[in-house]
């Protein structure tokens, strides 16, 4: 059995909670002593019936990610195969540059009567400025909410900008030569450079709890440092 992350999570009454998709998804930012971030995700399969019928896009990270299911059945698609995670399996490691996606299994694939899926998501600590972290997840979850619930138009430049800032990139079709290199280049050139020049921010004050951290990360990029205004309340 893989080691459990659940035993090392530190919970507090002051933990930040993010509710999106009409409360079908709740993310609770918690502390893990050995990870760059940790978040407890709760998925209500009844409230999210219209949202969870579609799988998220395949993607990859430049750092190792860990997923541990604590309630219900969670699917992870990796290397073209589905891995089903259940409570007690321990933390499942997704290595850097592995194309993958995770999703709750449908109600008919859950244990009888179970309508909630919970899992712990965390990432390894790295020296990279732009990596998987709470600031990225807050902005990504709230951007999805803006698109799905509020009807905002999907903007690929914004998507590339936010993903790049979280060390995350879209998986391109297998037949594209050097697909991951192309995807990372698109994130850098379109998301960070062009996006920055056109006024796209990877992180927004209205979606961010730890704004000083977001500013610190944006200050590392010549194209984004102008957005790092600690007094900004947009």
> Structural domains in the chain?
6-124 (2.60.120.10), 134-227 (no CATH)
What is the spatial distance between Cα 92 and Cα 3, in angstroms, rounded to a whole number? 9
What is the spatial distance between Cα 33 and Cα 24, in angstroms, rounded to a whole number? 28
User: Any residues with CB less than 8 A from the CB of 49 and at least 6 apart, and which?
Assistant: none
Exposed/middle/buried for 222, CB within 10 Å: 0-12, 13-18, 19+? exposed
Q: How confident is the model at residue 232 (pLDDT cuts 50, 70, 90)?
A: low
Helix axes of 211-218 and 134-148: crossing angle, nearest 10 degrees: 100
User: Any residues with CB less than 8 A from the CB of 71 and at least 6 apart, and which?
Assistant: 87, 114, 116, 117, 118, 119
pLDDT recorded at residue 91: 96
User: Any residues with CB less than 8 A from the CB of 171 and at least 6 apart, and which?
Assistant: 57, 58, 59, 60, 99, 179, 180, 183
| Two structure tokens written together for 127 | 């020296």
Mean pLDDT of the chain: 95
Q: Where are the beta strands (DSSP E) in 128-224?
A: 168-170
Contact, 40 vs 120, CB < 8 A? yes
Give the burial string for 50-80 (b: 16+ CB within 10 Å, else e): ebbeeeeeebbbbbbbbbbbbbbbbbbbbee
The tens digit of pLDDT for each residue in 97-151 reads 999 999 999 999 999 999 999 999 999 999 999 999 999 999 999 999 999 999 9
Closest CA to 200 of 210, 208, 192, 188: 192
Q: How confident is the model at residue 2 (pLDDT cuts 50, 70, 90)?
A: low
pLDDT recorded at residue 80: 87
pTM of the model: 0.94
């Amino acid at each position: 059995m893989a080691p459990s992350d659940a035993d090392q999570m530190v919970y507090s009454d002051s933990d930040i909670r993010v509710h999106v998709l009409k409360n079908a998804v709740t993310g609770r930012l918690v502390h893990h002593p050995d990870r760059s971030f940790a978040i407890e995700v709760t998925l209500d399969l009844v409230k999210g019936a219209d949202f969870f019928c579609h799988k998220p896009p395949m993607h990859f990270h430049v750092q190792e990610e860990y997923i541990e299911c604590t309630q219900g059945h969670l699917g992870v698609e990796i290397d073209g195969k589905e891995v089903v995670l259940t409570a007690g399996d321990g933390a499942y490691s997704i290595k850097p540059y592995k194309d993958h996606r995770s999703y709750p299994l449908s109600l008919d694939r859950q244990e009888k009567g179970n309508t909630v899926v919970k899992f712990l998501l965390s990432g390894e600590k790295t020296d990279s400025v732009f990596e998987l972290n709470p600031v990225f997840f807050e902005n990504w979850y709230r951007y999805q909410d803006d698109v799905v619930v509020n009807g905002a138009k999907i903007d690929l430049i914004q998507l590339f900008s936010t993903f790049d800032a979280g060390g995350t990139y879209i998986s391109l079709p297998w037949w594209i030569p050097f697909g991951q290199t192309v995807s990372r280049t698109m994130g850098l050139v379109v998301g960070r450079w062009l996006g920055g020049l056109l006024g796209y921010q990877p992180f927004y004050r209205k979606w961010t709890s730890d704004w000083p951290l977001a500013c610190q990360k944006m200050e590392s990029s010549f194209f984004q440092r102008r957005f790092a205004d600690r007094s900004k309340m947009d």
